Chain A
Amino acid sequence: MPTITFAQSTGAAAEITVDEGTSLMRAAVTNGVEGIVGECGGQAMCATCHVYVRPEFADQLPEISDDEDEMLDCTTAERTEASRLGCQITMSGSLANIVVDVPSDQV
Chain B
Amino acid sequence: MSTSNVPTAVCPFSGAAGTAESASITEEGSAPAAPIVVEVGVSAPVAEWVTIPDLYADPFPIYQRMRSESPVHWVPAVNRYMVTSYAACHEIEQDEARFSADENNSLMKRAMGHSMLRKDNPEHQVDRDSYGATLRPGTIKKHWNEIFTANHDKYLGELVDKGAGADFVWDYAAPYAAENLRLICGFHNASQEDLQRWSQNMIDGTGNYADDPEVWVKSATSSAEVDAAIDEMLPYLAENPDHSLLSGLASMPIPLEAIRANLKMTIGGGLNEPRDVLATTVWALLNNPEQLEAVKNDPKLHAVAFEESVRWVAPIGMYPRETTQDVVLEGVHLPKGSRLGVVLGAANRDPKVFEDPETFNIFRPKKPHLGFGGGVHFCAGTWIARAQVAQIAMPALFDRIPDLRLDPSSPSIDAGWVFRGLTKMPVTWG
Contacts and interface: CB of A to CB of B under 8 A. Distances in A.
Interface stretch (B335-343, B348-356, B368-376): B368-376
Nearest to B367: A107
A63 interface: no
A19 B307 CA distance: 35
Contacts of A18: 27
A7 to B, nearest CB: 9
A11 B4 CA distance: 9
Contacts of A105: 366
Contacts of B366: 76, 105, 107
Nearest to A16: B20
B254 interface: no
A107 to B, nearest CB: 5
B257 to A, nearest CB: 24
Interface in A87-107: 105-107
Nearest to B17: A32
B382 to A, nearest CB: 7
B24 interface: yes
Nearest to A72: B137
B2 to A, nearest CB: 6
Contacts of B380: 45
B138 interface: yes
Contact of B9 (A5, A14, A74): A14
Contact of A31 (B2, B5, B23): B23
Nearest to B14: A32
Interface in A16-38: 16-19, 29-34, 37
Contacts of B1: 15, 17
Interface residues of A, number: 37
Question: Quick one: which of B3, B9, B20 has the most chain A CB within 10 A?
Answer: B20
Contacts of A43: 128, 376, 378
Question: Quick one: which of A16, A19, A46, A74 has the most chain B CB within 10 A?
Answer: A16
B51 to A, nearest CB: 33
A15 B2 contact: yes
Contacts of B410: none
Interface string B134-168: 00111001000000000000000000000000000
Nearest to B377: A41
B interface majority secondary structure: loop
Given A32-B10, A40-B375, A70-B138, A14 B20 contact: yes
Interface string B213-254: 000000000000000000000000000000000000000000
Contacts of A13: 3-6
Interface string A39-72: 1110101101000000000000000001101110
Nearest to B6: A14
A14 to B, nearest CB: 4
Given A13-B5, A33-B9, A45-B378, A74 B372 contact: no
A1 B138 contact: no
A78 interface: no
A1 B29 CA distance: 12
Nearest to B27: A17
A29 B16 CA distance: 11
B18 interface: yes
A15 B3 CA distance: 6
Given A14-B6, A48-B368, A32 B18 contact: yes
A29 B10 CA distance: 11
Interface string B1-36: 111111101111010111110011001100000000
17 contacts: A1-B27, A8-B7, A12-B6, A13-B5, A15-B4, A15-B20, A16-B24, A17-B23, A32-B14, A32-B18, A34-B7, A41-B94, A43-B378, A67-B133, A67-B136, A69-B138, A74-B137
Given A17-B28, A43-B128, A46-B382, 18 more contacts: A12-B5, A12-B6, A12-B7, A13-B4, A14-B7, A15-B4, A29-B11, A31-B18, A31-B20, A32-B12, A34-B12, A39-B368, A41-B94, A48-B368, A66-B138, A67-B133, A71-B137, A107-B307
Interface of A: 1, 5, 8, 11-19, 29-34, 37, 39-41, 43, 45-46, 48, 66-67, 69-71, 73-74, 76, 105-107
